[in-house]
Structure 1
Amino acid sequence: MNNTAKCHDDHTLDKYLFPFVYSIVMMISIPINCISLYASCIQARKKNELAVYIFSLSLADLLYSLILPLWIDYAWNGDNWRLSALLCQISAFLMYMNFYTSTAFLACISVDRYLALVHPLKLQHLRTRRFSLIVSIIVWFLESILNSVILVNKEVFNDPCNFTNHTLCYDKYPLEWWQAWINLFRICSGYLVPLLIIVFCYYKIYQVVRCNQATVDEEKKKVRKLILNITVTFIVCFTPYHVVLLIRSIREPYTTDLQLLQLMYKVYRITQALTSLNCIADPILYCFVSENARTDILNLLRCCLCLRKREGDQVKDHALYSCPTKNSVLITYRT
């Protein structure tokens, strides 16, 4: 590119933004997604079809959370990938798998709630554990196929600035035309379609709940809270990223202005950091708001506390009998 003389690439923002955000996400996301997996697994055994989608959602979030240390290292070194090219491919693959399996399973959960509340007596065969398991397998399979392009292409690139030795992982700028077309397909199939499904389902649910006189006010509040939470999750976590990705995909393949490219890339990276927040929002929204899941989690915590108390009692008993006091020796002697 003949415009590199104007290039003044600065990775300072990434160096501090991503380690800060990703570290917080890791500390919160890993334990709560493990608990969410536990609670949803118990509910799935009880033939709760919704728990199957929640289990898949938590699994996708947990897998992404576990590779965040690699992205922290990448950002801390100024967007310079120092690890192998294969690790870059795996990290990018799991990141995009999380993005689009999350949106898909959020849509599945919305459809399940729609069928349960709007058509409670119809289409019962679509609300079984077996059906939700089949749908989950199909989602995982399709997303693996669609994102496999990451695993077959070179995903490490040289920084376009001619005076830097940085190696970029996956997010190259400017985008090539084939990358732009893949992004446009992802935006339509992985973001817009699930968003339209979710908006439609929750609009219908809200209408039914609002007009149903038999529904108590407390239940109406729960439904409104669920609708509000899913809307906020999509707006905060996924919408800014996909809006910027759309602009990049339309402009970058045909732009030679490096300053404009860098500006778009910086905004894109900020929105990319926001997407990781869905790893925290998902289990809180869809597992911890469930009364059955809450009961299972409380039972788990009680078991852990009981085990800890029992271990403490055993330690005390061991200390009492292995290290007798002077009084206990005298009592033993007198008897």
Structure 2
Amino acid sequence: MITHLAVADLLVTFLMIPLEVGWRLTVQWLAGNLACKVFLFLRAFGLYLSSNVLVCVSLDRYFAILHPLKLNDARRRGKIMLIIAWICSLIYAVPQSFVFHVSSHPEYPKFHQCVTFGFFMNQAEEIAYNLFCVVAMYFVPLLVICCTYTKILCEISTKSRESREDTGRSEGGRTKTKRCTNSAAGGRLTLRRSDTSTIERARGKTLRMTITIVSVFILCWTPYVAMTLWYMFDRESAMRVDTWLQDALFIMAVGNSCANPLVYGSYVVNFRHECSRCLCLCSNTSEANLDVRLTCRSRGK
């Protein structure tokens, strides 16, 4: 999951961002009609894929925690979800190749631009298409992410509360609480104190992870989505907004791909351990090279 998310974020970082920078520098489109269709398709595809893989990650964690007995199917289920994410991203991004095309300015024929003018029959069709893009790229992923992580947090909170209650009853009625025993009231398994603390740590980590993931996604995408909706339904007033502010909102949306490695990597990879391991490898390599040089020098080589 994290690998596919990294691929999607790298597509945005090394394809979409340089494209936008070059387009801003040249002002007009200089790469031709075919490049217009291909690059605009890839630009949308990277954003769709990033959002869809985030949905896959949330669903994978949902099944792992709420349906732990189905872990044998986790790998197959993960592959199916990722395949669906890639296919859906391709389907969502394909219309970009038809919507965008190179057109010349009516008063300046030598000035070419990659635009959507002339494709839609009326403004209602353009609004419907843009609204579909916003829903598929932002609202649906946000809804799924919020629902899945909320269910995960509720499940962990429930288990934590049950484990505390069972531990309290077992300590009051029995002295041997170090091994798991059947509770007389509900037939549930009584967890050891170490298991209870583990669940508490998992609950705290899940709470922090949920707040961070949802907050970063909302913070990065909501301003740009709000600006897009404003432009769709009230174009005249939206065009009065300064261009630098619109560009800043767009950069925030794209910045979600730059934030994903930090957000998800911080909960998957132990950075302190990895940094220590890399430093140890570097130091071991330096010591080995030093030994080789000293050996060669002693031999007169």
CA distance in 2, matches of 1:133, 1:308: 41
Matched, 1:102 2:80: no
Structure 1 position 73, deviation (Å) = 2.0
Q: What residue in structure 2 maps to residue 240 of structure 1?
A: 223
CA distance in 2, matches of 1:158, 1:92: 18
Structure 1 position 215, deviation (Å) = 5.2
Matched, 1:120 2:31: no
Q: What residue in structure 2 maps to residue 145 of structure 1?
A: 91
3-state SS, counterpart of residue 81 of structure 1:
coil
Q: What residue in structure 2 maps to residue 28 of structure 1?
A: none
CA distance in 2, matches of 1:242, 1:159: 29
Matched, 1:194 2:194: no
Structure 1 position 183, deviation (Å) = 1.6
In our comparison, the structure showing a higher alpha carbon Rg is 2
Spell out, residue by residue over 1:109-148, the C-alpha distance to the aligned partner (whole angstroms, 9 max, x if none): 1122222223333x4465x112211221121122112211
CA distance in 1, matches of 2:218, 2:201: 26
Greater alpha carbon shift after TM alignment, 209-218 vs 185-194: 209-218
Q: What residue in structure 1 maps to residue 264 of structure 2?
A: 286
CA distance in 1, matches of 2:91, 2:110: 33
Q: Which consecutive unaligned segments of at least 5 residues does structure 2 have?
A: 162-195
Structure 1 position 59, deviation (Å) = 0.4
3-state SS, counterpart of residue 83 of structure 1:
coil
Matched, 1:275 2:253: yes
Matches of residues 1-335 of structure 1 in structure 2 within 5 Å?
A: 53-67=1-15, 68-77=17-26, 79-121=27-69, 123-124=70-71, 128-157=74-103, 167-169=112-114, 177=123, 178-211=125-158, 212-213=160-161, 214=196, 216=198, 217-252=200-235, 257=236, 260-261=238-239, 263=241, 267-291=245-269, 299=277, 302-303=280-281, 306-307=284-285, 310-311=288-289, 314=292, 320=297
- CA 1:84–1:300 in 2, change beyond 3 Å: closer, same or farther? farther
Spell out, residue by residue over 1:150-209, the C-alpha distance to the aligned partner (whole angstroms, 9 max, x if none): 22444345579x789865445879x96344322211222332111111111122222233
Matched AA of 1:245: T
RMSD: 3.7
Q: Which consecutive unaligned segments of at least 5 residues does structure 1 have?
A: 1-52, 325-335
Greater RCO (Cα-Cα under 8 Å, separation 6 or more): 1
CA distance in 2, matches of 1:179, 1:246: 12
Normalising by the residue count of structure 2, what TM-score does the alignment of the two structures yield?
A: 0.71
CA distance in 1, matches of 2:45, 2:217: 16
- CA 1:300–1:136 in 2, change beyond 3 Å: closer, same or farther? farther
Aligned residues: 262
CA distance in 2, matches of 1:274, 1:171: 24
- CA 1:152–1:314 in 2, change beyond 3 Å: closer, same or farther? farther
Structure 1 position 294, deviation (Å) = 7.5
Structure 1 position 227, deviation (Å) = 0.8
